[in-house]
Amino acid sequence: MLANPFRPRRGLRIGGKHSSHHVDRELNLPDAITAQRLSKVYRGGKGIFDLEFSVPEGEIFGFLGPNGAGKTTTIRVILGLLRPTRGSLSVFGLDSWRESTGAKARLGFVPGDPRLYERMSGAAFLEFLAGFRPPGTMNRARKLASQLELDLRPRIRHLSRGNRQKVLLVQALMHDPPLLVLDEPTGGLDPLGQGSFLELLKDERSRGKTVFLSSHDLHEVERVADRVAVIRDGKLVAVEDVEKLKAVRERRMELTLGRPLRDGFFDGMSDVRLIASQNGGNHVELSVCGRPTALLERLAQEDVIDLVYPPADLESVFLHYYTDIEEAHE
Amino acid sequence: MIPMLRKSLWDLRWTAFWYAAGGAIYIFAIALFYPTVREQAETFTKLVAVYPKAVLAIFGFTDLTTYTGFMGTETLNLIWPAVIIVFATLGGSAVVAKEVEDGTAELLLSVPARRWRLLLAKEAALGIGLLGTVVAAALALVIGAVVVSASVKADGLLAMTVVMAAFLCTVAAYTSLFSSVTSSRGAAAGMSLGVTVAFYLIWVVATLGDSWKWLKNLSIFTAYTPQKALETGSIDAVPIAILVAITAACVLLALVTFERRDAVA
């Protein structure tokens, strides 16, 4: 079995003081992140508008939206880089703008665009950032780097994309923060690297950490997140449990058949729709909502030559919610 | 603040070294010409006397017959500061804007430190770098004097160092303010150079006649008197205090601006 390049090999556990998050919640301590009518409006009118969500401790919270939807703006508010135009955002009860130093002490951040200090070595870079963290942070950083098989000697400009990502991950984890804020962290990673990275996030969650994961990849978020917020054009479309999201979003299925589907094939399957039929019914495109169990059972009786069932994309989610909104208006 | 100061000094080390070395080598090389000028002092004095007053002012011509006068004319009054002003301007324009333009601001500002402390550390590093160039210039003056059998006074060197450092820190301070406001190295450097050139032209015009003399109060170059400080061993307290006040005000404004504004677009 291949070792996970993003997962410490020998099960390194650093700290663990936040593993009592359940107790914290029982004690009614603040959520890891709370946004209340949060707006940040840029000149020209773009931005984020009236976002309202909270992320309890110990949850992986997916923040899903297409490019330009407002994901990075939200993260920049969390980091205290942007001052909200209206509303507020707090990190463990600390206002992200007025008390940003305290808030940032409790989080680790992986930016989407991994532009680092190119002339520094990995070690010098981590030492610099560790200087702002509690004593002993650099020791933990070295251990983490070792576990991730990351050579800290080369200059950052000589590192591959994957190794840069590891450097970023080490700097985000080295002070053992209770909250990880990740801005499209798997961009540029190959599928194996993405999978390993997501496994690492699950490990962190099992240690009681909270993860705020921004992504435009629905499939990626579905694999790890407990709940998902969907954002589009700066507005929250929905905040749902992942399981509910899976149940409502539509997926496409393409079938190549030896003979057309029998008459009455779709009877009793309200979650399956025929979208297109070509080549005299030998090539069909279906829309599938929810579990495909019943459909697959019926297909087993058909002359299926090929079947393509790609992961759901973000548009399918938007389609669902926008249809709901339109119906509500009608 | 210490990690930021350490990193900023590390980042500046070669730039500061080459500006300091370049300035010092230039000063030393010019000093080697002094014996020739000293031998023909009368000729040079007559030559200088026929130049228009404005030309002498623009190029910082004074007395060529003494070591301090010669070095002031040829290096300290115009050429050396012109070179080091470039360092102060480029360094000052980078303090905020470079992080933003390079895309490293997001990660840097994710550390649990107040923004103003990070910026202050960067400004302090630049100040130390500028002080290094001034000290190198003073050393070059001393070595040059020894080589050409001239002399400079210790208190003169100290006074000159204060004048030059205060002047350069002022330039760096208003440049860093522009950097903090605009987040653009090009814009900050351009604005700074424009202001510096304006100060210089105001000062030149102010030296042309008594009717323009009042303009001196509007230029930081009025306080830039390294040759006089070197010769007398004393500084004019008021102009230097004004430079220090301008520096402090610009640094403070830069810190407040950077603390309160959106850090990235």
Share in percent of chain B as helix, strand, coil (round to 5): 80, 0, 20
Interface of A with B (CB under 8 A): 42, 76, 79-83, 101-102, 104-105, 107, 109, 111, 113, 115-117, 128-129, 131-133, 171
Helix count and strand count (H, E) for chain A: 11, 14
CATH-assigned architecture of domain A250-311 = 2-Layer Sandwich (3.30)
Decide: A170 and A126 in contact? Cβ < 8 Å. Answer: yes
Q: Which of A81, A131, A171 sits opposite B262 (nearest CB)?
A: A81
Tens of pLDDT along chain B (265 residues) come to 899 999 999 999 999 999 999 999 999 999 999 999 888 888 887 877 788 777 777 666 777 788 998 999 889 998 999 999 999 999 999 999 999 999 999 999 999 999 999 999 999 999 999 999 999 999 999 999 999 999 999 999 999 999 999 999 999 999 999 999 999 999 999 999 999 999 999 998 888 888 888 998 999 999 999 999 999 999 999 999 999 999 999 999 999 999 999 988 6
The DSSP letter of residue A155 is: B
Q: How far apart, in whole angstroms, are the C-alpha atoms of residue A309 and residue A307?
A: 7
DSSP bridge pairs for A231: A236
Pairing between β-strand A179-183 and β-strand A107-110 as defined by DSSP bridges: parallel
Q: Report the mean per-residue pLDDT for chain A.
A: 85
Does residue A250 carry a pLDDT above 90?
no
| Contacts with A44 (C-beta within 8 Å, 6 or more apart), sequence order | none
Homologous superfamily assigned to A21-241 = P-loop containing nucleotide triphosphate hydrolases (3.40.50.300)
Query: Cβ contact (<8 Å) for A131 and B104?
Result: no
- For B30, residues 6+ apart whose C-beta sits below 8 A from its C-beta are B71, B74, B75, B144
User: In chain B, which residues have their Cβ closer than 8 Å to the Cβ of A76?
Assistant: 106, 263-264
Residues of B in contact with A109 (CB under 8 A): 106-107, 110
Residues β-bridged to residue A287:
A252, A273
Set of chain B residues whose Cβ sits within 8 Å of the Cβ of A83: 260, 262
pLDDT at position A1 is 42
3-state secondary structure of A53: strand
Q: What is the pLDDT of residues A37-79, one digit of tens each?
A: 999 999 888 999 999 999 999 999 999 988 889 999 999 999 9
Reported as a pLDDT band with limits 50, 70 and 90, residue A121 is very high
**B2 with A131: Cβ contact below 8 A:** yes
Pairing, β A47-55 against β A250-257: unpaired
Indicate the domain borders of chain A.
Answer: 21-241, 250-311
Q: Torsions phi, psi of A259, nearest 5?
A: -145, 155
Supply the pLDDT for residue B138: 97
Band of the pLDDT at A2, cuts 50, 70, 90?
A: very low
Would the CB atoms of A79 and B110 count as touching at under 8 Å? yes
Strand partners, A64: A215, A230
Closest-CA residue of B relative to A102 is B112
Enumerate chain B positions whose Cβ falls within 8 A of a Cβ in A: 2-3, 6-7, 102-107, 109-114, 260, 262-265
The model's confidence at residue A290, banded by pLDDT at 50, 70 and 90, is confident
Domain boundaries, given as residue ranges, for chain B: 2-260
ipTM of the complex: 0.86
Q: How confident is the model at residue A10 (pLDDT cuts 50, 70, 90)?
A: very low
Chain B positions in Cβ-Cβ contact with residue A122 (cut-off 8 Å): none
Least Cα distance to A190 among A161, A212, A170 occurs for: A161
* A325's tokens: 């909104």
Distance of CA B140 to the CA centre of its chain: 17
Q: How far apart are CA A176 and CA A206, in angstroms?
A: 14
Q: Which residue reads 């430190």 in tokens?
A: B113
CB contact under 8 A, B263 and A104: no
Which DSSP string do the residues of B230-246 spell out, in sequence order? HHHS---HHHHHHHHHH
pLDDT value at residue A23: 39
Look at residues A109, A214, A100 and name the one whose alpha carbon lies nearest to residue A172. A109
Measure CA of the first residue to CA of the last residue in chain A; give whole Å.
55
Contact criterion met (CB < 8 Å) for A113 and B103: yes
> What angle, rounded to 10 degrees, do the helices at B115-147 and B237-260 form?
150
Q: What are the residues whose beta carbons fall under 8 Å from the beta carbon of A296, sequence distance 6 or more?
A: none
Residue B115 and residue B263 in contact, taking contact as beta carbons nearer than 8 Å: yes
Grouping H, G, I as helix, E, B as strand and the rest as coil, residue A300 is coil
pTM of the entire structure?
0.84
Q: Which 8-state DSSP code applies to residue A121?
A: B
